Structure 1
């Protein structure tokens, strides 16, 4: 009915008569007119002094065609970029989207319209790259395809950040649910790597700077890289099985993390040249870390620890990226930021998978331990503690639903004599045979409980004593019949059963169990191998 009401409310506007559209009622207008000019960063003498010698993009043979030309510069590690042609000149900064042409979001771009036949080159300049292998890329072409590629880059970068944030949120909810510190540590790892990716991709300045980087962006980048390599190395070491394979290596891993922390803290004190050496050294160190992790994971898998496959799957993209960098891959140079972000996001996804699988294994072990604690080791039936919990649940449900509940208390007749005559091994066979017989005669195996020794409790929810009595008689007969399959000469197994039904005055299960137990002892005193209803004693009384 609730959903029907919601549908009617949604359909009411469609059922109303058509009306003439009115401004303000059928149109939502937001914003207001402005006199603010498009933000363009002026190329001040101070900025120009920091730029290296401009790179000239020569006009084609015969001069420019007169069509608009889009120039997009990306993969800037940090610093200003200048694009100039004729009397047009713009500068931009990756860490502040307000300084860039709004048509270019993943890079710093400009659209120029050279006169037809003009041969003046387009000039592009940037600050000296911090790392020698990290060189900027310039894309030239028609505005539409250049802007589409630029937009695609932005989508990849934002998608990687969105995935990382979603993983962090999921882990945070996992922490609140399980209170496991591993989830909280994973959230911190995600936060660090999100910050790293934001600085790397320039999204830290989109749409306005939300990290106070400015000209210190390269310093931040090196510092956060050092911290990220330390954390990623630690996580990969755990995923690859290094903690179990080489327990002593934990000291070395912690030492490496401490050293990288010191490097991160020292970056503000470094000169530009030392900062460049540090950045290159960090990349080489991380390549070595990836190789060591791959070796550790392979040895762990060979030793039978197949969870280390997670470490292999996580580290291979990072290792391939680093090797491509060493080999000077043109594709990596062009899409360096996107490749790094995708590899880091893949690492986070595999880390989350490994973390959740580890939690699943812990839950499975906990459930197995709980099952062992609640199970009789000989018969596999619920033990007394688990059985009484089950009876308590049935009792609450029976009182709430006003449904009947009956129980049978069974004791194997002369079981001590069976042990004395045939031995305890045969006695165990008898217990298992009785357990299987009772288990086959009830709705759920949890409704048969071994109370201890040769005593069993049979739960019959939804059955009154009148309905339970013939069922217990049938079980009693099957106990004797099935014992003959044990093929021990002269062995005859019988059972005495006391039947009791829940009464309105019963406040808990103690009274119910007591009546069933008394009825069972009456069955023994009356000659054994029979079912006695507790109501018979009440009628006699």
Structure 2
């Protein structure tokens, strides 16, 4: 049976190896062809070709200009503009058009379509102009009414290079946060396929949802081309995705902070709250702009209250000794700090609102992933402990019969592969029933433990000594022929006979009978090997006990 299983496993492994080799060849073939195609006879490689396509510009139509109700004038310095190039970049306009105008130049754009903006500005809407020296005309900046009163735009003016570098830095932060969320989602998805744990699948879906939220917030849903149908409906998308995101984040924070354990029957309340926020998301397409603004503020209030409650529950759980809630506390504190900074009108937050929101959400996802992976590690530890208990003899701490036979089958497979010998010793404590009857089962247990420790000390690997049941032990000797194993088993037999003195019971005698067998080429499985060792052990008992008998000297048939 073991050889059959090993052959089947070997064929399966070879089949997988062939499939992997074919896959690698399929993948490497286009790469090799590409490498050949890229061979050049020059010192450089020229890509692309000349084009007559003009840079896309979003025209400020009268319809667009009519919606731009908020206007500011960026005044020149004293004495007028110096005649040097000026770059102006507008950030943190989450929805609607932005217009920048100076003299005869006028550009419009919005964050959800990168194709219609100046390619030098990707995190904001910008324009580079060169006012004549001494010109005193201001630069006009106009935008649509913001969804929230505190969502005011940030306008940066300066030399083109530093302004563009600041814009690029913002873009890097935004894309990095989305990349981290996608990586966490992929990791959770692989965890789901490995463990089939629903928590991993739920976390992956949460990551994807927050990727969409971040993309709309940062304008990356339109980069390099629009891949979400946001367009003019940015406020609707923003409120709808915020409602869904707040729902799942509150649910996760409640779990991370120990709310399900601290507050009984809270699961139903959390389900109702999540369903209510989902309903709000579904109703957003039918709301007016004013109603969307009211809903957005209300959602912020609900989320802030939920974070405060989750933090309080986390501290209560921490005082009760549930230290795993530290993950939730560490996750919720930055969210509350961001809300406090928003309410207080912190200048740094106003300048970097998008980046701050994305970084806080990314931190939340990372802490959630850490908690999820730690739970997985705890489950694996419990599984390993249960497996260890299932494979261990409780009295002696040795591997039990099931684990021992599995180990022996593994040695048999290795022996078939490397051609090394394999021997086993089947040991039975002599007259063990009389020991129990005369001294009691407590002393019998002491004898079993003492013999187990003696046998363990005589082998290289503790797992090579197995308690087969009752007073029987199996000793595995991989790499040893019968001629080599015989003196080792004789030495173990002598050491077992010396254990009675250490137990300090008058008249106690402990001896053992051992049957030795070596794996033969015609053995199809471990059963034949065990039968020969067992027969040799009974031959030792019939020959007077307290001895080792080699199966090769045993006339009994297998």
User: Which TM class, normalised by the smaller chain length?
Assistant: over 0.9
* Change over 3 Å in CA distance of 1:95–1:24 after alignment to 2: farther
Structure 1 residues 221 and 53 mapped into 2: Cα distance closer, same or farther (>3 Å)?
Answer: closer
Q: Offset of 1:331 from its aligned partner? A: 0.7
Of 139, 154, 179, the residue aligned with 1:137 is: 154
For 1:483 and 1:314, how far apart are their aligned partners in 2? 61
Corresponding residue SS for 2:534: helix
The SS at the match of 1:54 is strand
Partner of 2:214: 197
Partner of 2:260: 243
TM-score, normalization by structure 1: 0.94
1:412 paired residue among 405, 429, 443: 429
Q: Distance in 2 between matches of 1:454 and 1:23?
A: 79
Look up the match of 1:72.
89
- Among residues 206, 217, 233, which one is paired with 1:216 in the alignment? 233
- In 1, Cα distance between the equivalents of 2:85 and 2:479? 84
Match of 1:444 among 428, 445, 461: 461
Map of 1:273 onto structure 2: 290
CA RMSD of aligned residues (A): 1.6
Structure 1 alignment gaps of length 5 or more? 1-21
How many Å separate the matches in 1 of 2:306 and 2:463? 52
Q: How does 1:262-301 map to 2 (within 5 A)?
A: 262-301=279-318
Corresponding residue number in structure 1 for 2:46:
29
Deviation larger for 259-268 or 480-489? 480-489
CA deviations on 1:392-421 (whole Å, 9 max, x unpaired) are: 111222222222111111111111111111
Alpha carbons 2:425, 2:474 under 8 Å: kept: yes
Q: Which one of the candidate residues 410, 414, 419 is aligned to 1:397?
A: 414
Of residues 476, 479, 482, the one that matches 2:499 is: 482
Q: CA deviation at 1:243?
A: 2.0
Aligned to 1:66, the other structure's residue is in SS state: coil
TM-superposition CA deviations, 1:203-233 (whole Å, max 9, x none): 0111111111110011101100000011111
Matched, 1:314 2:331: yes
Query: Hey, what's the Cα distance between the residues in 2 that align with 1:356 and 1:436?
Result: 38
- The partner residue of 1:425 within 426, 434, 442 is 442
- Give 1:361's aligned residue: 378
- Aligned partners of 2:483, 2:64: CA distance in 1, in Å? 97
Matched, 1:341 2:358: yes
Q: Is the contact between residue 539 and residue 554 of structure 2 (CA under 8 Å) also seen in structure 1?
A: no
Match of 1:50 in 2: 67
What is the aligned partner in structure 2 of residue 532 from structure 1? 549
SS at match of 2:225: coil
Partner Cα distance (1:251, 1:87) in 2: 61
Structure 1 residue 143, shift from structure 2 partner: 1.2
Distance (Å, rounded) in 1 between the aligned partners of 2:142 and 2:280 = 30
- Find the counterpart in structure 1 of residue 249 from structure 2: 232
* SS of match in other structure, 1:101: coil
Number of the residue aligned with 2:57 = 40
Q: Deviations over 1:38-60 (max 9, x none)?
A: 11111111001101141111122
Deviation of 1:98 after TM superposition, in Å, equals 1.3
How do 1:118-157 residues align onto structure 2 when only pairs under 5 Å count?
A: 118-157=135-174
Aligned partner of 2:269 in structure 1 is: 252
- Match in the other structure for 1:435: 452
Matches of 2:496 and 2:286, distance apart in 1: 85
User: Which residue of structure 2 aligns with residue 115 of structure 1?
Assistant: 132
Aligned counterpart, 2:7: none
Compute the displacement of 1:111 (Å): 1.4
Match in the other structure for 1:171: 188
| Alignment partner of 2:369 out of 348, 352, 364 | 352
1:325-340 equivalences under 5 Å are 325-340=342-357
**Per-residue deviation, 1:248:** 1.1
Q: Which of 96, 112, 121 is the equivalent residue of 2:113?
A: 96
Does structure 1 conserve the Cα–Cα contact (< 8 Å) formed by 2:94 and 2:219?
A: no
Structure 1 stretches of 4+ with a deviation exceeding 6 A read: none
Contact 2:70 2:144 survives alignment (8 Å):
no
Residue deviations 1:140-164 (CA, integer Å, cap 9, x gap)? 1111111111110001001111111
Q: Does 1:371 align with 2:388?
A: yes
The CA distance in 1 between the partners of 2:471 and 2:480, in whole Å, is 25
CA contact (8 A) 2:423 2:478 kept: yes
- Structure-2 change in CA distance of 1:252 and 1:539 (3 Å): closer
Q: CA deviation at 1:24?
A: 6.3
- Match of residue 7 from structure 1: none
Q: Specify the alignment match of 1:10 in structure 2.
A: none
Shift of 1:466: 1.1
Give 1:246 shift: 2.2
**Structure 2: gaps spanning 5 or more residues:** 1-38
- Deviates further, 410-419 or 110-119: 110-119
Over 3 Å counting, the alpha-carbon distance change for 1:362 and 1:103 in structure 2 is: same
